């Protein structure tokens, strides 16, 4: 699984749904999935198959300037 990580219990409150990340970054959900697949965002798959993205990877993504021309 590309760019997935095991999340310990203390980090679970810092997981965001794909829809939330798309809204924060002002992009389509499909773009969020693409960025996860390319390693720009760190995702984890829950036991029910849902994807969550770490809040810290979204923060880092923004800090590194991947969202150019948005704001």
pLDDT digits (tens, 9 = 90+) for 41-70: 999 999 999 999 999 999 999 998 876 544
Q: Is the pLDDT of residue 29 over 80?
A: yes
Question: Which is it for strands 51-54 and 15-17: parallel, antiparallel or unpaired?
Answer: antiparallel
pLDDT confidence of residue 9: 52
**Interval 20-33 mean pLDDT:** 96
pLDDT confidence of residue 66: 74
Which domains, and CATH codes, for the chain?
9-63 (1.10.1660)
HSE, CB side, 13 Å, CA atoms: give it for residue 1.
12
Please give the Cα distance from 30 to 8 (Å, whole number): 27
pLDDT band at 10 (very low <50, low <70, confident <90, very high): low
């Amino acid at each position: 699984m590309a760019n997935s990580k095991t999340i310990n219990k203390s980090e679970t409150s810092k997981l965001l749904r794909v829809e939330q990340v798309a809204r924060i970054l002002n992009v389509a959900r499909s773009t969020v999935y693409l960025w996860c697949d390319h390693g720009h965002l760190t995702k984890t798959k829950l036991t029910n198959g849902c994807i969550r993205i770490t809040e810290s990877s979204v923060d880092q993504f923004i800090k590194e300037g991947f969202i150019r021309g948005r704001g």
